[in-house]
């Protein structure tokens, strides 16, 4: 298999904290590879090492056939990145930012201008060409960040939490752009905190926690390891909740969780095919269910299943941003 | 609550344009070191255009300093404001330009703070060109400040015995020295956490360096222990060399010392700054 990225025992230490603690990755060329994990898991630090912005403290990393420590310039010539840590100059206009990047990539002055205008229009930013980037909305910011990364289409693109904090419409736009990129032949390494995002976009996923890869596989494999999802039920009459919970537990063979909402029950199920029958059985007893849904496991549930504890959002978390 | 996966078909139709734009990106040879440095210099100019406030200190402080020192201290120090102006203006020019060097550190620190720094570092161009470009932008600031000080000086009665060429050479010497000093501020800008802290550190160094010198008063009147410091203070050396040029009494020895000092400063600090910059996490 042709690998875009290969790492062995990659390590980065900030003071006392082992931000990346022996990461092994083998990421194939083409498609989207998702790196999933909570804040501070080591995702950003890993990407920074792969993009040659940080020097690893241990292990090796090869990107597009070049060792990041020995041939950083060759890596930089073929990758691009976008994310929380690689943005544009807020004081300049959208046009000036892209012209600046195009000039650095080697375009002549008129060609740089033409390329910048072309990109801004393609990304639906034609009206904001002369606006300073600091006046852009969150979704516009993310789009121009990505536009800045494809002035010259990279062979490998790092997208660090591209949709965190975006509204659903902007998020969908970013997803469409990512699919477009992959269609054009770019390999995308995407980090995210959302399983849904990884599920929508990624072909394979690595789950990272505390600087280590704790699971790796296709989305299907990953979900199967967790159980396919959760059934959420709301009963019409809270008084009937316990009985409904008992019936569902019997039919589905799963442990019911009585939530703080007095009408809500949730169950983790391995096989969703029995859910309809179980709900039917509840109805036969004359008990009324007002609402139900069958959802994917959330990142929290994946974590719970993989580590036996909930995803910690802050413990090791915010230090990473400070240290990095 | 778990999220429902909906592969959305309602995303706006920007992807067709995006795909077209992706395909049309040619792959030219990345800019060479000179061109990338000039391009980053162009960015510094654009920033001045969009944030003209940043020129406020550059323009207002020199005016304020020139007027204040001439009219408040002039009579007491030199007997008359006119005599003092003749003595102090080259010094005020020196102090003003040396003070502005701290913006170099401030600019780089703000870039790191905003995240644009990593974008630039990930580009396939000579990494140091961001720093060199910033220094080019700073040069514009130094020139503007020099023009302000000299204009105000001439308006209130300063005449340079050294003539226009003497003044231009003095400014050029200041630029050379400040370019070398900027490397030190780059180190501070890369090491210190916040822009405010950069200001603090720079002030702590620059205030004593510019005031305990021959900028505002002849060192002969100071206590002998202080004179010892004043005599070896690089700002004194720079100020005396500039004063000589502007007074038409250029001292080759002073000028040589300043040039050597600038070369040594650059040789020592530039590699450290570049190393820090390359390894900045």
Domain co-membership, A133 together with A181:
yes
Decide if B2 is inside a domain. no
Interface of A with B in 139-168 (CB under 8 A): 148, 150-153
Decide if B1 is inside a domain. no
A208-222, B15-29, B69-83, B95-109: segment of lowest average pLDDT:
B15-29
The SS3 call for residue A41 is: coil
Domain co-membership, A235 together with A201:
no
Task: Please name the residues in contact with A59: beta carbons below 8 A apart, sequence gap of 6 or more.
Answer: A7, A8, A9, A10, A11, A22, A23
What tokens were used for A3? 């690998």
Domain co-membership, A188 together with A62:
yes
Q: What's the rounded Cα separation, in Å, for the pair A36 and A204?
A: 10
- The better pLDDT of the pair A122, A299 is held by A122
Task: Report the 10 Å Cβ neighbour count for A153.
Answer: 19
Residue with tokens 């077209």: B20
What tokens were used for B281? 């996490």
Decide if B22 is inside a domain. no
Decide if A209 is inside a domain. yes
What tokens were used for A8? 């062995």
Range of the domain at B72: 32-279
- Return the CATH number at A21: 3.40.50.300
- Taking residues A243-264, what's their average pLDDT? 85
Decide if A180 is inside a domain. yes
DSSP letter (8 states) at residue A69: T
Q: Is A13 on the interface with B (CB under 8 A)?
A: no
- pLDDT value, residue B169: 95
Cα–Cα separations (whole angstroms), residue B211 to B86, B95, B98, B184 = 18, 8, 12, 19
Task: Please name the residues in contact with B52: beta carbons below 8 A apart, sequence gap of 6 or more.
Answer: none
Of the partner residues A90, A101, A122, the one whose CB lies closest to the CB of residue B18: A122
Report which of A121, A103, A120 is spatially closest to residue A112, judged by C-alpha positions.
A103
Domain co-membership, A243 together with A262:
yes
Decide if B8 is inside a domain. no
Chain A environment of B1 (Cβ under 8 Å): 232, 295
- Sorting pLDDT into bands at 50, 70 and 90, what band is A227? low
Chain segment A179-215, per-residue pLDDT in tens: 888 888 899 999 988 888 888 899 999 999 899 999 8
Domain co-membership, A161 together with A30:
yes
Domains held by chain A: number: 2
Looking at A224, A240, A265, the residue that finishes a domain is A224
Decide if A168 is inside a domain. yes
- Sorting pLDDT into bands at 50, 70 and 90, what band is A300? low
Looking at A193, A224, A255, the residue that finishes a domain is A224
Decide if B143 is inside a domain. yes
Name the minimum distance, in Å, from the CA of A156 to any CA of chain B.
13
Chain segment B197-226, per-residue pLDDT in tens: 998 998 899 889 988 998 888 888 889 999
Report pTM.
0.79
Decide if A308 is inside a domain. no
Domains held by chain B: number: 1
Decide if B14 is inside a domain. no
Q: What's the rounded Cα separation, in Å, for the pair B125 and B132?
A: 13
Domain co-membership, A106 together with A203:
yes
Domain co-membership, A126 together with A265:
no
Helix (H) or strand (E) holding A260: none
Cα–Cα separations (whole angstroms), residue A27 to A147, A179, A200, A270, B249 = 24, 18, 18, 28, 70
Q: Is B223 on the interface with A (CB under 8 A)?
A: no
- Average per-residue pLDDT for chain A: 85
Residue B74 has pLDDT above 80, yes or no: yes
The chain B residue lying nearest A168, using CA atoms, is B11
Q: What's the rounded Cα separation, in Å, for the pair A314 and A301?
A: 17
- Taking residues B172-191, what's their average pLDDT? 92
Q: Is A113 on the interface with B (CB under 8 A)?
A: no
Decide if A131 is inside a domain. yes
- pLDDT value, residue A308: 66
How long, in residues, is chain A? 324
Decide if B3 is inside a domain. no
CB-CB under 8 Å, A132 with B124: no
Decide if A218 is inside a domain. yes
∠ Cα A71 B279 B54 (to 5°): 120
CB-CB under 8 Å, B30 with A106: yes
Among A20, A53, A100, A233, the strongest candidate for a mutation testing the B interface, having the largest count of B CBs within 10 A, is A53
CB-CB under 8 Å, A87 with B114: yes
ipTM higher than the 0.95 cut? no
Domain co-membership, A220 together with A268:
no
CB-CB under 8 Å, A175 with B17: no
Beta pairing class for A187-192 and A32-36? parallel
Decide if A312 is inside a domain. no
- pLDDT value, residue A314: 42
- Return the CATH number at A262: 3.30.70.2030
- Strands ordered across the beta sheet of A79-83: A79-83, A156-160, A187-192, A32-36, A204-209, A212-218
Q: Is B49 on the interface with A (CB under 8 A)?
A: no
What tokens were used for B215? 């900028």
Chain segment A84-100, per-residue pLDDT in tens: 766 889 899 999 999 99
Decide if B52 is inside a domain. yes
Q: Is B15 on the interface with A (CB under 8 A)?
A: yes
Q: What's the rounded Cα separation, in Å, for the pair A95 and A103?
A: 12
- Taking residues A234-248, what's their average pLDDT? 89
Decide if A283 is inside a domain. yes
Q: What's the rounded Cα separation, in Å, for the pair A259 and A110?
A: 62
Residue with tokens 């429902």: B4
Domain co-membership, A47 together with A176:
yes
What tokens were used for B168? 């231009």
Q: What's the rounded Cα separation, in Å, for the pair B130 and B33?
A: 10
Cα–Cα separations (whole angstroms), residue B157 to B74, B77, B90, B218 = 13, 17, 13, 21
**Interchain CB contacts (distance < 8 Å): A and B:** 166
Residue A288 has pLDDT above 80, yes or no: yes
Report which of B132, B113, B123, B110 is spatially closest to residue B270, judged by C-alpha positions.
B132
Helix (H) or strand (E) holding B145: helix B129-155
Domain co-membership, A244 together with A208:
no
CB-CB under 8 Å, A118 with B46: no
- Taking residues B22-35, what's their average pLDDT? 80
CB-CB under 8 Å, A48 with B116: no
Range of the domain at A155: 3-224
Domain co-membership, A61 together with A112:
yes
Of the partner residues A92, A150, A295, the one whose CB lies closest to the CB of residue B50: A92
- pLDDT value, residue A310: 61
Residue A55 has pLDDT above 50, yes or no: yes
- Average per-residue pLDDT for chain B: 86
Residue B14 has pLDDT above 60, yes or no: no
Name the minimum distance, in Å, from the CA of B244 to any CA of chain A.
41
Count the alpha carbons within 13 Å of B49 in the hemisphere toward its beta carbon.
Answer: 10
Radius of gyration of chain B from Cα atoms? Answer: 24
Of the partner residues B19, B27, B31, the one whose CB lies closest to the CB of residue A184: B19
Domain co-membership, A81 together with A159:
yes
């Amino acid at each position: 298999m042709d690998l875009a990225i290969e790492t062995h025992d990659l390590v980065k230490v900030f003071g006392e904290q082992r931000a990346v603690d022996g990461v092994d990755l083998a990421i194939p060329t083409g498609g989207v590879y998702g790196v999933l994990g909570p804040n501070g898991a080591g995702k950003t630090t890993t990407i920074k090492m792969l993009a040659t912005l940080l020097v690893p403290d241990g292990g090796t990393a090869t990107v597009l056939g070049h060792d990041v420590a020995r041939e950083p310039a060759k890596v930089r010539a073929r990758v691009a990145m976008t994310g929380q840590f690689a943005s544009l100059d807020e004081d300049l206009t959208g046009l000036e930012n892209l012209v600046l990047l195009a000039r650095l990539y080697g375009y002549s002055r008129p060609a740089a201008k033409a390329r910048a205008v072309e990109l801004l229009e393609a990304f639906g930013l034609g009206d904001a060409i002369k606006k300073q980037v600091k006046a852009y909305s969150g979704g516009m910011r993310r789009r121009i960040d990505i536009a800045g990364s494809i002035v010259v289409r990279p062979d490998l693109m790092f997208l660090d939490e591209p949709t965190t904090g975006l509204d659903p419409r902007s998020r969908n736009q970013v997803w469409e752009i990512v699919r477009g990129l992959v269609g054009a032949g770019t390999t995308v390494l995407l980090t995210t905190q959302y399983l849904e995002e990884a599920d929508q976009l990624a072909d394979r996923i690595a789950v990272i926690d505390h600087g280590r890869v704790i699971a790796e596989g296709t989305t299907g494999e990953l979900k199967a390891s967790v159980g396919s999802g959760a059934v959420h039920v709301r009963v019409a009459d809270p008084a009937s909740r316990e009985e409904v919970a008992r019936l569902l537990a019997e039919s589905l063979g799963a442990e019911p969780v009585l939530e703080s909402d007095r009408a809500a029950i949730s169950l983790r199920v391995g096989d969703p095919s029995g859910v309809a029958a179980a709900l039917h059985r509840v109805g036969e007893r004359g008990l009324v269910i007002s609402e139900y849904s069958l959802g994917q496991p959330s990142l929290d549930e994946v974590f719970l299943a993989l580590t036996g504890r909930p995803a910690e959002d802050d413990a090791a978390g915010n230090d990473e941003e400070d240290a990095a | 609550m778990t999220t429902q996966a909906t592969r959305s078909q309602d995303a706006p139709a920007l992807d067709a344009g995006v795909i077209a734009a992706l395909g049309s990106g040619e792959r030219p040879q990345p800019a060479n070191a000179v061109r990338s440095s000039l391009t980053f210099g162009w960015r510094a100019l654009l920033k001045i255009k969009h944030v003209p406030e940043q020129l406020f200190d550059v323009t207002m402080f020199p005016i304020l300093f020139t007027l204040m020192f001439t009219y408040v201290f002039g009579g007491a120090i030199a007997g008359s404001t006119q005599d003092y102006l003749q003595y102090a203006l080259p010094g005020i020019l020196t102090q003003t330009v040396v003070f502005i060097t701290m913006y170099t550190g401030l600019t780089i620190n703000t870039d790191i703070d905003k995240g644009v720094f990593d974008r630039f570092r990930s580009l396939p161009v000579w990494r140091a060109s961001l720093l060199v470009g910033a220094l080019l932008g700073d040069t514009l600031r130094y020139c503007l400040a020099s023009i302000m000080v000299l204009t105000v000086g001439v308006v209130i009665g300063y005449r340079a015995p050294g003539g226009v060429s003497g003044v231009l050479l003095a400014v050029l010497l200041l630029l050379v020295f400040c370019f070398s000093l900027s490397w030190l501020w780059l180190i501070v800008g890369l090491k210190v956490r916040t822009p405010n802290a950069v200001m603090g550190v720079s002030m702590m160094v620059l205030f004593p360096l510019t005031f305990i010198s021959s900028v505002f008063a002849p060192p002969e009147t100071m206590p002998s222990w202080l004179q010892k410091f004043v005599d070896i203070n690089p700002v004194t050396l720079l100020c005396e060399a500039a004063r000589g040029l502007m007074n038409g009494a250029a001292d080759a020895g002073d000028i040589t010392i300043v040039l050597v000092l600038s070369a040594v400063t650059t040789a020592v600090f530039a590699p450290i700054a570049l190393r820090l910059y390359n390894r900045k996490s």
